[in-house]
Amino acid sequence: MNRSTTDPLHVLVTVDFPDSFLDGVRAVDDRIVVHHHPVSEAENPETTVPAHLLTQAEVMYTSAVLPGTDQSPALRWAQLDTSGIDHVRGTRLWDSDCVITTLGGVSPAPLAEWIMLMVLSHAHHLRQTEQLAATRTWPSREFRWNQLMPHNLRTSTVAIVGYGRIGKEVARLARAFGLEVLAVRRGSPAAATSTFGATPDVEGVSEVPLAELHQVLARSDYVVLTVPLTPETQGMIGADEISAMRRTAVLINASRGGVVDESALLDALERGHLGLVASDVFEQEPLGPEHPFWTHPRVLVTPHVAGFAPDYLEVVSALFTTNLRRYLDGEPLLNVADRERGY
């Protein structure tokens, strides 16, 4: 990424950030010229951003605006406002030679906390106790003993399918609760020097190759999905994988909706298979008001909020400004997306 040391660096930000974020970007170097043109989800990104801003942008912080070389001939680096890149696949930006970086490493902690919330909600029968509270019912001691006895997490097993930064944080919390952890990983992770917010290894975790997924599913009380959505992971949890799981198993999806075959999942639930499904992500979002997941007694739905980070602005600012300095100094950027791997 060699560039002139004197030319201005035009940075186009299409996300609605406060002035404090933009001031932090400007403070990185006197050569930086920030153009802020927020684009909402309801707007058409193809027509919203003025052509001259797209033309001169060398760096872009973006969510929905994904131009190609025809619109942005000077664009060399695009920072996405997401951890995943599945929504970029097939766009003009994807097909360009522009470097793409992600927000990987920004929200492993809240995602892992949400996952453990789902584990604990199941283990301590939160749904049942909420239903009792809604009807002001105090059940008998026999009912409480037989129906509301917690599941023993210290004798339970959790399978984490996708053992990256989020998966490792899940493993750390799960081990603290005494669960046995099986981590399913496709291959070796990206080099630690190229990623933001790397999570240290967790003791007591058994790593398993993806080829043994069915065996792991059969052993696990809880199955957690934290894989990116790629052509390889699309529908990776289908009818065969669900059948391999225990009838009482809990499936927790914090990755992307397309990883799970929802038709197969509904069929399994109707047959009484699986103790609980907890999902923050769905094949189609927003989830339609008539979708059976909303009312199914063994499904917990949250509206794609598991990755919301309370310190998002501060952490994202730190990542973007660090990468800006690296860009200006000709150093490798953090969190470069691998188009071949799909994340």
- Are 169 and 199 in contact by the 8 Å Cβ rule? The answer is yes
Verify whether residue 304 is a known catalytic residue: yes
CATH homologous superfamily for the domain 9-105+310-328: NAD(P)-binding Rossmann-like Domain (3.40.50.720)
Using 50, 70 and 90 to split pLDDT, how confident is the model at 192? Answer: very low
Residue 40 has φ and ψ, to the nearest 5°, of: -80, 165
Verify whether residue 256 is a known catalytic residue: yes
Tokens describing residue 330: 């000709």
- Which pLDDT does position 3 carry in this prediction? 63
Element (H, E) at 277: strand 276-279
Residue 208 has φ and ψ, to the nearest 5°, of: -130, 140
- CA dihedral for 30, 32, 38, 41, sign (positive or negative): negative
**Model pTM score:** 0.92
Residue ranges of the chain assigned to CATH 3.40.50.720 = 9-105+310-328, 108-301
Catalytic residue from among 10, 35, 172, 256:
256
Checking if the pLDDT of 215 tops 90, the result is yes
Domain 108-301 has CATH 1.10.3720.10: no
- Are 313 and 18 in contact by the 8 Å Cβ rule? The answer is yes
Checking if the pLDDT of 99 tops 50, the result is yes
Residue 262 has φ and ψ, to the nearest 5°, of: -70, -30
**pLDDT, tens digit (0-9, with 9 covering 90-100), for 232-276:** 999 999 999 999 999 999 999 999 999 999 999 999 999 999 999
Q: Which of 232, 184, 189, 237 is nearest to 211 (CA)?
A: 184
Catalytic residue from among 127, 186, 304, 326:
304
- Are 91 and 74 in contact by the 8 Å Cβ rule? The answer is no
Catalytic residue from among 285, 314, 331, 341:
285
